[in-house]
């Protein structure tokens, strides 16, 4: 078993050799793969570039002859991902590590995203101090800023690379020495926002008391995508989707959208799910000066200096009800929608800034109009954060999880 160390050995051979040697000195086995294409590698790797490109359905010679750097990087990334996935499936992978600029980061993190959460992943990158979402995705990728370019060994780069190798070695060796964990309990995935925390915390306690392990995802876009990915991976036994606020950001154009596929994985996999409408009263933006001008007449609440919340309108709530029920109704498994009739977030209550009964009524009526007979609908004369509502949601999911 070994760490997959992958990158371009034609331009960064000395740096990769240095990290490889540091890892081996720490007692960590290494498989070094070359994904370069411009010039011959400076030394022989364990996995050749030809093997990497073959995994992507191409040949290194043809890629070099085409002279298209963008396509070459894309093919190298695809090959790296397949190599990492194959090593993991074979049980020979203990971690994935990469070094580089934009090309090296694209290649290395593609391999990292191809293996499950829990496998150590470390990318030393010139891009690590900027927007890294496209590279990290929904995996547990550690991004380390290279500080200087990955272009030769010097007093700065050598220190950064030494620390990176030590970090990877520490993760790998710690996993070897980890104490045995208790038998895994079935996993429940739940969604939460600050304004639905009381509900989700109370429901989580009830589900854990019933013998389940509850993974709570912050509904910030990335959180929703991560949860959907774990459901697709088959790791989740049931879903407590209390906080579907990411649908509002996708519909209206907020900054915390989880994309159009949010609320689809459980339905496609047939995983039992309880769905509610938590925080559908709000769309998220950054500081006030980032809110699009077209919304200037809308109702806002300043959550903190960097987050501006905008209240959804009756028309938007009607459309959200349609989307939510259509996705729930498409479920191939057991599903229920639980509606709180006295407010959908901490800000949506009498005396609070987003209290708008007409908007909530539009949401409720839309759900009633469009829900399919195969989905149970529970309407409760409660606020979403009332303890009784949390108990009802948890009990509904426990009921769906029982054998028919």
Q: Is residue 272 part of a domain?
A: yes
Q: Is residue 223 part of a domain?
A: yes
Q: pLDDT per residue over 294-353, tens digit each?
A: 999 999 999 988 999 999 999 999 999 999 999 999 999 999 999 999 999 999 999 999
| CATH code, 150 | 3.40.50.12020
**Portion of the chain with pLDDT greater than 90, in percent:** 88
pLDDT the model gives residue 66: 87
Q: Is residue 104 part of a domain?
A: yes
Last residue of a domain, one of 115, 142, 177: 177
* pTM across the whole model: 0.80
CA gap 400, 240 in Å, rounded: 11
Q: pLDDT per residue over 211-268, tens digit each?
A: 999 999 999 999 999 999 999 989 999 999 999 999 999 999 999 999 999 999 999 9
Would the pLDDT of 357 be above 90? yes
CA gap 49, 37 in Å, rounded: 8
Q: Is residue 238 part of a domain?
A: yes
Strands 93-100 and 121-125: parallel
- For residues 161-176, give the mean pLDDT: 94
- For residues 360-378, give the mean pLDDT: 97
**Residue 199 and residue 330 in one domain:** yes
Q: Is residue 182 part of a domain?
A: no
Range of the domain at 289: 187-401
Q: pLDDT per residue over 3-49, tens digit each?
A: 999 999 998 999 999 999 999 999 999 999 999 988 888 889 999 99
**Residue 134 and residue 9 in one domain:** yes
Which tokens sit at 251?
A: 């519909």
**Residue 173 and residue 191 in one domain:** no
DSSP assignment string, 2-55: EEEEEE-TTTSHHHHHHHHHHHHHTT--EEEEE---SS--SS--SB-HHHHHHH
Note the Cα 126 to chain centre separation in Å.
Answer: 22
**Residue 165 and residue 228 in one domain:** no
CA gap 128, 109 in Å, rounded: 12
**Residue 83 and residue 195 in one domain:** no
pLDDT the model gives residue 369: 97
**Residue 13 and residue 126 in one domain:** yes
Q: Is residue 87 part of a domain?
A: yes
Q: Is residue 350 part of a domain?
A: yes
**Residue 227 and residue 326 in one domain:** yes
**Residue 157 and residue 218 in one domain:** no
- Any residues with CB less than 8 A from the CB of 308 and at least 6 apart, and which? 284, 285, 286, 287, 288, 290, 291, 300, 301, 302
For residues 138 and 401, the model is more confident at 401
**Residue 111 and residue 221 in one domain:** no
- For residues 273-284, give the mean pLDDT: 98
Last residue of a domain, one of 127, 143, 177: 177
| CATH code, 330 | 3.40.50.12030
**Residue 225 and residue 144 in one domain:** no
**Residue 61 and residue 111 in one domain:** yes
C-alpha dihedral sign at 57, 62, 66, 71: positive
Which tokens sit at 221?
A: 């876009």
182: confidence class by pLDDT, cuts 50, 70, 90: low
Would the pLDDT of 185 be above 70? yes
**Residue 250 and residue 298 in one domain:** yes
How many domains does the structure of the chain reveal?
Answer: 2
Average pLDDT over the chain reads 95
Last residue of a domain, one of 177, 210, 238: 177
Of 158, 156, 128, 159, the C-alpha closest to 141 is 128
């Amino acid at each position: 078993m070994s760490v997959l160390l992958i990158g371009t050995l034609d331009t960064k051979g000395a740096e990769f050799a240095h990290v490889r040697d540091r890892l081996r000195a720490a007692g960590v086995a290494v498989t070094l793969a070359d994904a370069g294409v411009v010039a011959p590698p400076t030394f022989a790797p364990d996995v050749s570039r030809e093997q990497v490109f073959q995994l992507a359905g191409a040949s290194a010679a043809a890629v070099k002859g085409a002279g298209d750097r963008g396509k070459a990087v894309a093919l190298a990334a695809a090959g790296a991902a397949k190599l990492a996935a194959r090593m993991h499936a074979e049980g020979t992978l203990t971690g994935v590590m990469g070094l580089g600029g934009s090309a090296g980061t694209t290649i290395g993190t593609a391999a990292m995203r191809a293996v499950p959460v829990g496998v150590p992943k470390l990318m030393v990158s010139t891009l690590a101090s900027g927007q890294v979402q496209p590279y990290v995705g929904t995996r547990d990728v550690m991004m380390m800023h290279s500080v200087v370019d990955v272009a030769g060994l010097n007093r700065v780069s050598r220190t950064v690379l030494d620390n990176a190798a030590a970090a990877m070695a520490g993760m790998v060796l710690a996993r070897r020495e980890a104490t045995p964990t208790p038998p895994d309990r079935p996993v429940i995935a739940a969604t939460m926002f600050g304004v639905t925390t009381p509900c989700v915390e109370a429901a989580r306690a009830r589900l854990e008391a019933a013998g389940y392990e509850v993974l709570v995802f912050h509904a910030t876009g990335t959180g929703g995508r991560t949860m959907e990915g774990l459901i697709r991976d088959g790791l989740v036994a049931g879903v407590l989707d209390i906080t579907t606020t990411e649908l509002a950001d996708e519909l209206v154009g907020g900054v915390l959208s989880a994309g159009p596929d949010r609320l689809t994985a459980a339905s496609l996999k047939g995983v039992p799910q309880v769905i509610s409408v938590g925080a559908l009263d709000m769309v998220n933006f950054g500081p006030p000066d980032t809110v699009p001008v077209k919304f200037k007449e809308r109702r806002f609440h300043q959550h903190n200096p960097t987050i501006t919340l905008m209240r959804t309108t009756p028309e938007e709530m009607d459309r959200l009800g349609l989307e939510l029920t259509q996705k729930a109704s498409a479920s191939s498994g057991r599903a229920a929608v639980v509606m709180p009739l006295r407010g959908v977030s901490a800000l949506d209550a009498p005396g609070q800034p987003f209290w708008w009964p007409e908007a909530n009524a539009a949401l409720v009526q839309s759900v009633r109009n469009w829900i399919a007979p195969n989905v149970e609908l529970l309407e409760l004369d409660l606020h979403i954060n009332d303890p009784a509502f949390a108990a009802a949601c948890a009990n509904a999911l426990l009921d769906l999880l029982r054998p028919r």
